[in-house]
Chain A
Amino acid sequence: MAITDPTAHLGGPPGGFIGAQDPRVRPALVEGDNNFTTVTDMVAGIPEQPVEKTDKLWIGLFLISLAMLGLLGVCLAYLIHTGVGVWGNNNPVFWGWPIVNFVFWVGIGHAGTLISAVLYLTRQHWRTAVNRSAEAMTIFAVICAGMFPGVHVGRIWVAYWLAPVPNQMSMWQNFRSPLLWDVFAVSTYFSVSLVFWYMGMIPDLATLRDRATNKWRRISYGALSMGWTGSSRHWHVYERAYLILAALATPLVFSVHSVVSFDFAVSQVPGWHTTIFPPYFVAGAIFSGFAMVLTLMIPARKWFNLGHIITLNHIDVMCRILMATGMMVGYGYSMEFFMAWYGGVQVEQFAFVNRAFGNYAWAYWIMITCNVLIPQLFWSRRMRRNLAVVFVISITTNIGMWFERFVIVVTSLSRDYLPSSWAYFSPTWVDVCTFIGSFGLFLTLFLLFIRFLPFVAMSEVKIVMPAAHAGHGGHVKDRHDAHGHGDHGHSKHAEVPHHG
């Protein structure tokens, strides 16, 4: 392609004049001297490591997560055997840590779907480096989330009563209850995300199948990849399906956390009953989800040498999205606060003053510090590209978001309409260990994912490399050909294909 460069008269090659942020040029999505072959080697090489040669670091982390998972098992067994009384839930704080943890995990899951679906629809090509692992994060986060409502019902052996199946009493669920909407929303979310994640992996599993050297790998990856041959006719239907799923997953993402917010908003509890909850919860979910993605990506890209695929530009953009959604959460806080005053509802006003200055004020100020103040550091480009800072802030963000759910649930319940009903809530060791254990479940699944499944969407990353497009760059370098001929499109600042 040739376009007349309107800035030609300003002199200098693209990138040389203004520096790395030259708006005339889009930064390369895959850095370094990479081609399809090297990208495949980089990504497929991770699961292809023989089991007996597994990295010591992975084993160490896996043992820790297994220990935490064991802790979860112990806590759940104790809970089911003895009853919900082992938690700190009391009257009137009937919803304590379990619900806070549920909302926390479900929120984290939303970033994966956003990256996969919404960023796909808005043609953000940088998503291809992180979408596979983010989707996996979603699946595992939703598993952790779904466990909490599942066990908090008390008699989990009749938890199937939540499902609309015929029964001898001819009784059905109350579809008008937000708790049942949750059942449908979260289960739909889990299954659609699973489908989306799996469908995205089919071509990459085929890659692993075709590169497999041992029979068991060939059979497993072969079965999972369904016999994918990379046929263009298949790709056509596949791409259409991917687009439709992305278009469906977008409203799904919005609806799921909105339904979760309805659990609170449709009640009359002061501090809960406010119309901004649905979009504010969704923004908060994406906020915490991106923080978790960053927490996972920053070590992963280092330990697996994926720095050329998950570049600093990727981290930078994710930090900006983090900040944007954090601002939306801050907007939600200010609206609630303003309307509490403006509306003149005294219980509402009390609820907000109590949050800031009552006996849970410590939780409130942790929340404000972590969600509103600390992310402001990301206005600075240097901060966004400083991996240590980003890693720390991603963790404080998740701490802040956990506290946000804690503040919402516990302060409003512990001090609602009747002062005679007020009580203070404290978690028990079971609450705390179950929560820690849920991280064990998440990490175990995630580590298994890293070990055996393709961490990066290879086929999608290849699409956004210059060589994927006709007329760009020409030849693909063969792995034996150190310096190929005519590699026009492989300089550090190659322009990305124009998908806008």
Chain B
Amino acid sequence: MADSKSATTTTPYGLVGLYTNVDDLLAAARRVRDAGFTKWDSHTPFPVHGIDPAMGIKRTILPWITLVMGLTGVVVGIVGQWWVNAHGYAFQISGKPIWSLPANIPVAFEVTIAFSAFTTFFGMLAINRLPRLSHPLHRLTAFNRVTSDRFAVVIETADPRFDAGQVKRLLATGAESVVECPADPTHAGLPGWFHGVAAIATCLTLIPLAMAYRGRQATSEKPRYVVWTDMSFQRKAKPQRASELFQDGRAARKPVPGTIAVGQIIDDQELRFGVEADEISPVGTEVGPNGVPLSQWLTGFPAAITVDDAFLDRGEQRFDIYCSVCHGVRADGLGSVALRAKDIRATRWGWVDPKNLLASVTVARSNGELFHIASHGISTMKGYASQISTVDRWAIVAWVRALQNSQAIDSRGAPQAEYNDLPPELLGTVQGPQTEGGR
């Protein structure tokens, strides 16, 4: 019992009844519950079956909190994955759909479990107001056995109905002993310096975040910090850069005297470039009447080439191999790739239709220009210099010319005998010298 007038004694924390077995504990708990106390508790080394109704303990809301956080976890898991893989930085893999739910289920499931589990554990600690490292009961030696093999009922003096005598009587039945638990004389609060240290530590943790934020907003002329250099700074020669390996300090080197790099033979300008021999570029120095420089593309074939039947056959073969897929076997721009592109309307995505090589635009180009296009490409067509040899490219040009000529013939001007020699399936499609209709 407290002597409230004395400055040295303080009110004890409460009275503790210690029991040796479960039955006595339960009986005591029921008595205390029935007596209407509110600030009291029982302490046991293990959860005693039946103590909840004996004490009138209400069901905890923890399961509901877990449920809510679990559902949150599902949402976070799914939305999070959607955002990072389908929205924030859409991750294309082998042309598969950007968002496909089944593949995202495992991670969503794990996130849900993680959310629920941590909520449960920390929720349990929060509801129980743990950790609480300072408690008057811990200073009571007799209480030490409660975590091993004793059971206790504790009624706090703070309870409005507390009356020492009555409480003693209430607890005494079946009890091994009834002990007074003194108040904890040590200060139960956190030490003063703790707040200061905590404040400073919190501020310190904000510094890296602030630096990161600043880094995203500001610009800098200095190169970024590289933590893991890995292969970022390699000791190799880069073009147009200085190099300490060579006396002249240049990384770019001229070919070794007496050697020629692959593809760099310029023995015959007409053959290799399709440009008139004495000109250095297709855009010559001569200027035409309207002030436009005259084209110096080779109009015929280079002197090194003999255009004969064998040459044309070669050209046909090479054309069919390399060019007909886009331009068609008749060079009319209706190759299988072009047709497919039309089917899927590939022009939506930047496709340019392969040209009809029989059209007047292409007819008007000189041979050298056609050779140049076959070698280096034009518009979205790639160059074939790396795949087709120089002579074969000229053969292709020759074949294209042959096709252009053959498709431009007006059959009405042909001799009748030649017309009659046509294969039967073509007779109806081609207009002869003496027939009407056809094409």
A222 within 8 A of B: yes
Interface residues of A in 205-256 (CB under 8 A from B): 206-207, 209-211, 222-223, 226-241, 244-245, 248-249, 251-252, 255
Q: How far is the CA of A252 from the CA of B106 in the complex (A)?
A: 11
Interface residues of B in 27-58 (CB under 8 A from A): 29, 41-52, 55, 57
Q: Are A232 and B60 in contact (CB under 8 A)?
A: no
Q: Are A175 and B85 in contact (CB under 8 A)?
A: yes
For residue A227, which residues in chain B have a CB less than 8 angstroms away from its CB? 130-135, 138
For residue A32, which residues in chain B have a CB less than 8 angstroms away from its CB? none
Q: Are B23 and A474 in contact (CB under 8 A)?
A: yes
Q: Are B147 and A210 in contact (CB under 8 A)?
A: yes
Minimal Cβ-Cβ distance residue in B for A212: B144
Q: Are A176 and B149 in contact (CB under 8 A)?
A: no
Q: Are B114 and A237 in contact (CB under 8 A)?
A: no
Counting residue pairs across A and B whose Cβ atoms lie within 8 Å, the total is 221
A226-B125, A476-B149, A478-B20 given; A248·B116 CB < 8 A: yes
For residue B49, which residues in chain A have a CB less than 8 angstroms away from its CB? 463, 468-470, 497
Minimal Cβ-Cβ distance residue in A for B106: A181
B408 within 8 A of A: no
* Contact with B44, one of A232, A252, A262 (Cβ below 8 angstroms): A232
Interface residues of A in 125-169 (CB under 8 A from B): 155, 157-158, 164
Interface residues of B in 112-148 (CB under 8 A from A): 113-114, 116-118, 120-121, 123-125, 127-128, 130-135, 137-138, 143-148
Q: How far is the CA of A280 from the CA of B59 in the complex (A)?
A: 39
A471 within 8 A of B: yes
Q: Are B124 and A184 in contact (CB under 8 A)?
A: no
For residue B60, which residues in chain A have a CB less than 8 angstroms away from its CB? 236-237, 240
Q: How far is the CA of A198 from the CA of B148 in the complex (A)?
A: 19
Q: Are A226 and B57 in contact (CB under 8 A)?
A: no
Q: Are A184 and B106 in contact (CB under 8 A)?
A: yes
Name which of B21, B144, B148 has the most chain A CB atoms within 10 A of its CB.
B148
Q: Are B85 and A244 in contact (CB under 8 A)?
A: no
A226-B130, A228-B130 given; A233·B41 CB < 8 A: yes
Minimal Cβ-Cβ distance residue in B for A35: B149
A369 within 8 A of B: no
A37-B149, A210-B148, A478-B20 given; A226·B47 CB < 8 A: no
Q: Shortest distance in angstroms between A477's beta carbon and chain B's nearest beta carbon?
A: 9
Q: Are B147 and A206 in contact (CB under 8 A)?
A: yes
Interface residues of B in 358-400 (CB under 8 A from A): none
For residue B130, which residues in chain A have a CB less than 8 angstroms away from its CB? 226-228, 234
Q: Are A170 and B88 in contact (CB under 8 A)?
A: yes
A227-B132, A255-B113 given; A170·B123 CB < 8 A: no
What size tier do the contact residues of chain A reach?
A: 35 or more
* Contact with B104, one of A176, A195, A203 (Cβ below 8 angstroms): A176
Q: Are A195 and B228 in contact (CB under 8 A)?
A: no
Q: Are B131 and A203 in contact (CB under 8 A)?
A: no
Q: Shortest distance in angstroms between B341's beta carbon and chain A's nearest beta carbon?
A: 31
Q: Shortest distance in angstroms between A335's beta carbon and chain B's nearest beta carbon?
A: 23
Interface residues of A in 171-209 (CB under 8 A from B): 171-176, 178, 180-181, 184-185, 188, 191-192, 195-196, 199, 203, 206-207, 209
Q: Shortest distance in angstroms between B138's beta carbon and chain A's nearest beta carbon?
A: 7
Q: How far is the CA of A196 from the CA of B116 in the complex (A)?
A: 13
Residue total for B at the interface (Cβ-Cβ under 8 A): 71
Q: How far is the CA of A459 from the CA of B46 in the complex (A)?
A: 5
Q: Are B46 and A463 in contact (CB under 8 A)?
A: yes
Q: Are A471 and B117 in contact (CB under 8 A)?
A: no
Q: How far is the CA of A139 from the CA of B109 in the complex (A)?
A: 21
Minimal Cβ-Cβ distance residue in B for A36: B149
Q: Shortest distance in angstroms between A480's beta carbon and chain B's nearest beta carbon?
A: 12
* Contact with B43, one of A191, A232, A245, A470 (Cβ below 8 angstroms): A232
Minimal Cβ-Cβ distance residue in A for B126: A237
Q: Are A37 and B148 in contact (CB under 8 A)?
A: yes
A231-B42, A475-B21 given; A185·B120 CB < 8 A: no
A259 within 8 A of B: yes
B81 within 8 A of A: yes
B26 within 8 A of A: yes
Q: Are B62 and A180 in contact (CB under 8 A)?
A: no
Q: Shortest distance in angstroms between A26's beta carbon and chain B's nearest beta carbon?
A: 17
A170-B88, A175-B107, A227-B133 given; A463·B113 CB < 8 A: no
Q: Are A172 and B113 in contact (CB under 8 A)?
A: no
Q: Shortest distance in angstroms between B356's beta carbon and chain A's nearest beta carbon?
A: 43
B230 within 8 A of A: yes
For residue B42, which residues in chain A have a CB less than 8 angstroms away from its CB? 231-232
A203-B147, A226-B125, A467-B22 given; A231·B114 CB < 8 A: no
Q: Shortest distance in angstroms between B319's beta carbon and chain A's nearest beta carbon?
A: 35
A232-B41, A232-B47 given; A158·B23 CB < 8 A: no
| Main secondary structure on A side of the interface with B | helix
Q: Are B120 and A244 in contact (CB under 8 A)?
A: yes
B84 within 8 A of A: yes
* Contact with B91, one of A172, A184, A206, A228 (Cβ below 8 angstroms): A172
* Contact with A180, one of B43, B107, B109 (Cβ below 8 angstroms): B107
B63 within 8 A of A: yes
Q: Shortest distance in angstroms between A481's beta carbon and chain B's nearest beta carbon?
A: 10
Q: Are B23 and A233 in contact (CB under 8 A)?
A: no
Q: How far is the CA of A172 from the CA of B88 in the complex (A)?
A: 9
Minimal Cβ-Cβ distance residue in B for A256: B110
Q: Are B45 and A36 in contact (CB under 8 A)?
A: yes
For residue B131, which residues in chain A have a CB less than 8 angstroms away from its CB? 223, 226-227
For residue B426, which residues in chain A have a CB less than 8 angstroms away from its CB? none
For residue A207, which residues in chain B have a CB less than 8 angstroms away from its CB? 45, 147-148
Q: How far is the CA of A252 from the CA of B113 in the complex (A)?
A: 7
Minimal Cβ-Cβ distance residue in A for B100: A176
* Contact with A199, one of B46, B100, B124 (Cβ below 8 angstroms): B124
Q: Shortest distance in angstroms between B87's beta carbon and chain A's nearest beta carbon?
A: 10
For residue A471, which residues in chain B have a CB less than 8 angstroms away from its CB? 23
Minimal Cβ-Cβ distance residue in B for A475: B21
Minimal Cβ-Cβ distance residue in B for A474: B21
B155 within 8 A of A: no
Minimal Cβ-Cβ distance residue in B for A252: B113
For residue B106, which residues in chain A have a CB less than 8 angstroms away from its CB? 178, 181, 184-185, 255, 259, 262
B175 within 8 A of A: no
Q: Are B113 and A36 in contact (CB under 8 A)?
A: no
Q: Are A176 and B138 in contact (CB under 8 A)?
A: no
A495 within 8 A of B: no
Q: Are B57 and A232 in contact (CB under 8 A)?
A: yes
For residue B114, which residues in chain A have a CB less than 8 angstroms away from its CB? 188, 191-192
* Contact with B84, one of A157, A175, A463, A497 (Cβ below 8 angstroms): A175
A176-B103, A463-B47, A478-B20 given; A170·B89 CB < 8 A: yes
Name which of A171, A176, A203 has the most chain B CB atoms within 10 A of its CB.
A176
Q: Are B21 and A230 in contact (CB under 8 A)?
A: no
Q: Are A188 and B51 in contact (CB under 8 A)?
A: no
Minimal Cβ-Cβ distance residue in A for B216: A168
Q: Are A211 and B149 in contact (CB under 8 A)?
A: no
Minimal Cβ-Cβ distance residue in B for A484: B20
* Contact with A229, one of B116, B145, B146 (Cβ below 8 angstroms): B146
B200 within 8 A of A: no
Q: How far is the CA of A248 from the CA of B117 in the complex (A)?
A: 7
Q: Are B124 and A237 in contact (CB under 8 A)?
A: yes
A172-B91, A240-B60 given; A184·B107 CB < 8 A: yes
Q: How far is the CA of A498 from the CA of B159 in the complex (A)?
A: 37
Task: Show 7 A/B contacts (Cβ-Cβ < 8 Å), sorted by A.
Answer: A44-B148, A173-B84, A226-B131, A227-B130, A231-B128, A237-B124, A248-B117
Q: A195-B117, A229-B137, A463-B49 are known; give 15 further A-B pairs, CB within 8 A.
A: A36-B149, A157-B228, A172-B85, A172-B88, A175-B81, A188-B110, A207-B45, A227-B132, A230-B147, A231-B41, A235-B48, A235-B51, A244-B120, A259-B110, A469-B49
| A residues whose Cβ falls under 8 Å from a Cβ of B | 35-37, 40, 44, 155, 157-158, 164, 170-176, 178, 180-181, 184-185, 188, 191-192, 195-196, 199, 203, 206-207, 209-211, 222-223, 226-241, 244-245, 248-249, 251-252, 255, 259, 262, 458-460, 462-463, 467-471, 474-476, 478, 497
